[in-house]
Structure 1
């Protein structure tokens, strides 16, 4: 029996079943929390609460067009958008489960028999559909909130690293790592939940590339994974914008140049550094460095969805949280500066 055909067919069947149920049970208007804000903001491309979800708003705005001008149906169609994202999450979850089940039950030196195929596909069907109709996932699948789309990004990233794991020793296998980097960059414009997959990705790469695993090797891989997570969470999302703001402050207040000139110079420096890094890595034959720089480029490319926040804030929409119309207010928007900070290990300061 053709494993790939059965795997694809059953995966799509589970996804379609889940999507149909989600659409039939979707909220007809809005739920009693952030969904009202997200629906109103997506419909007119306005600015939601910090730190924003621009990619989510733009994609939900596409679904609002299915209302065909009937404003009373806009909320429902955005809820359908979450249902579709959740159905695709089930699809990637099915393929992830079957990939792991196949890895456990199947060896390359013997053919896959009918019983093994039934076990693998049975695990995928049971696992994906059980998750589909779990309380928390089903709840997020029927309303216009960021968690359905964030779950899709997370499922796609983990499925992609398993695709890389199978092809790791083949030419051009690392392009799957670039795909992962791009999805992670895009997911920042939805929700930061996706970043939690990075330590797991580091472990999968370690186990695949290392013949003899050790406790210290696993610990090192975990530390690298958390380091990459921290680099994206603070380095890319916040400090990149903070440096751009400092550049602009220096160019305007010290050098007397026009507003925004420092940002332009900063962007040129970043792009120039990345181009030089790619050229250097190719010239010196440093494959790992080349992959890391390309991954950084695609993370930044995905992160660029946040330009929507600056563009729409300058249009002064009705809902304009924090009014991030310039680089400094945008930095405050991303860093959630209006929220009170509390010590993590001691709780509220009394």
Structure 2
């Protein structure tokens, strides 16, 4: 039989096993912690806690269409189950791609025993992950982590497909008209969508960076570290630049147009996005006209990332509907910016502040537990913050 055909059949067989396991062990109703909130938000497209999960809400809403009111939680939980089993499917295919690449380094084609080894190893790896405690736990409840894992798995599989096609192209086994870079554009779109589920999805970026580095550059020690640093910079740019920065600029236009110019609400937002679209179109056309392929691909990648990121429009739309669950009320881009930055949570200093360097409580007062940091609080004035102290007489 053809290798690719067997690969597909085996992958779907592993998918079926994972689906049966998760569907038979799925939660009937809401689990503890955030699950009840996510199910509620998905059922009626309501606004949950910052920074939101609009794509999860949309897909959960689709699944709830098939449920009677008393079974909504089960059907939304099944979204997590299917997301997890698809994660196992793409994990299987990723393992076969890696093993195939490893074996073909020393030969031109796979022999029969090579294929058997690849499929057995991939099956063991995928099924082992199927039954891991943390993954199985998230696969059977209405939470975002299962779908975030799915995006991670699909994105990593996509970069391996890019690597495979680049290898075939360099070996002249593909037509010169082949376009492996389409996989990179797909990855950027998926990264944008992943933001609408959970930020865990973008943590695959360093792995993408290393796959690209090993394909286009000769491996050196300095190159290895530089590739890692650049990958982390790109991750930080998306995390701290694109995600809050785009909305931050849009909110600045909005406040300027409404407060300073007296124009209608959302006029500044519409102008900003029209300007952004015009910039992207002009930039891509300019880059292609001047044969600047890297710039062209980078701008196209940014466009696809922003299209996927556009799922957050649902948060603003549904907040304007004043749904019963409407946390932070992000009805416009100004309040959406605060929502995305999770300002309501405050900050917890790591290297300094009230927790890291506060005085240690005497150990002998609590012989049965480890030492911990004692802190008392008292309101000293209505117009000032809380003041901390260690000894009660200092209050």
TM-score (norm 2): 0.85
Match of 1:166 among 164, 167, 170: 164
Aligned-partner Cα distance in 2 for 1:270–1:176? 24
- Deviation, 1:345, is 3.4
Aligned-partner Cα distance in 2 for 1:190–1:109? 42
Contact persistence 2:83–2:147 (CA under 8 A) = yes
- Deviation, 1:252, is 2.1
1:83 aligns with 2:96: no
Aligned-partner Cα distance in 2 for 1:134–1:182? 29
Tell me which structure has the larger Cα radius of gyration: 2
Match of 1:305 among 305, 311, 317: 311
**1:65 maps to which residue?**
65
Task: Specify which structure has the higher proportion of helix.
Answer: 1
After TM superposition, the structure 1 = structure 2 runs for residues 134-153 of structure 1, keeping only pairs within 5 Å, are 134-153=132-151
- Deviation, 1:151, is 0.5
Aligned-partner Cα distance in 1 for 2:220–2:264? 56
1:338 is paired with a residue of what secondary structure? helix
1:220 aligns with 2:226: yes
Contact persistence 2:254–2:334 (CA under 8 A) = no
After TM superposition, the structure 1 = structure 2 runs for residues 1-350 of structure 1, keeping only pairs within 5 Å, are 1-67=1-67, 70-107=68-105, 109-168=107-166, 170=169, 171-210=178-217, 212-346=218-352, 348-349=354-355, 350=358
1:66 is paired with a residue of what secondary structure? coil
Aligned-partner Cα distance in 1 for 2:125–2:352? 39
- Deviation, 1:200, is 1.2
- Deviation, 1:108, is 7.3
Q: CA separation of 1:167/1:10 partners in 2, compared to 1, >3 Å: closer, same or farther?
A: same
- Deviation, 1:221, is 1.3
Per-residue CA deviations over 1:265-306 (Å, capped at 9, x if unaligned) read 111111111001110111011111111111100100000000
Aligned-partner Cα distance in 2 for 1:123–1:48? 41
Contact persistence 2:39–2:76 (CA under 8 A) = yes
Q: CA separation of 1:347/1:65 partners in 2, compared to 1, >3 Å: closer, same or farther?
A: farther
Q: How many residues align?
A: 347
- Deviation, 1:256, is 2.6
Aligned-partner Cα distance in 1 for 2:179–2:108? 27
2:46 is paired with a residue of what secondary structure? coil
Aligned-partner Cα distance in 2 for 1:313–1:281? 39
- Deviation, 1:348, is 4.7
Contact persistence 2:103–2:110 (CA under 8 A) = no
2:123 is paired with a residue of what secondary structure? helix
Q: CA RMSD in A?
A: 1.3
Aligned-partner Cα distance in 2 for 1:270–1:285? 22
Q: CA separation of 1:289/1:28 partners in 2, compared to 1, >3 Å: closer, same or farther?
A: same
The unaligned stretches of length 5 or more in structure 1 are none
Greater RCO (Cα-Cα under 8 Å, separation 6 or more): 1
TM-score (norm 1): 0.96
1:332 is paired with a residue of what secondary structure? helix
Aligned-partner Cα distance in 2 for 1:226–1:347? 27
Aligned-partner Cα distance in 2 for 1:340–1:258? 32
Aligned-partner Cα distance in 2 for 1:60–1:251? 36
- Deviation, 1:249, is 1.5
- Deviation, 1:194, is 1.2
Aligned-partner Cα distance in 1 for 2:281–2:326? 36
Aligned-partner Cα distance in 1 for 2:318–2:140? 27
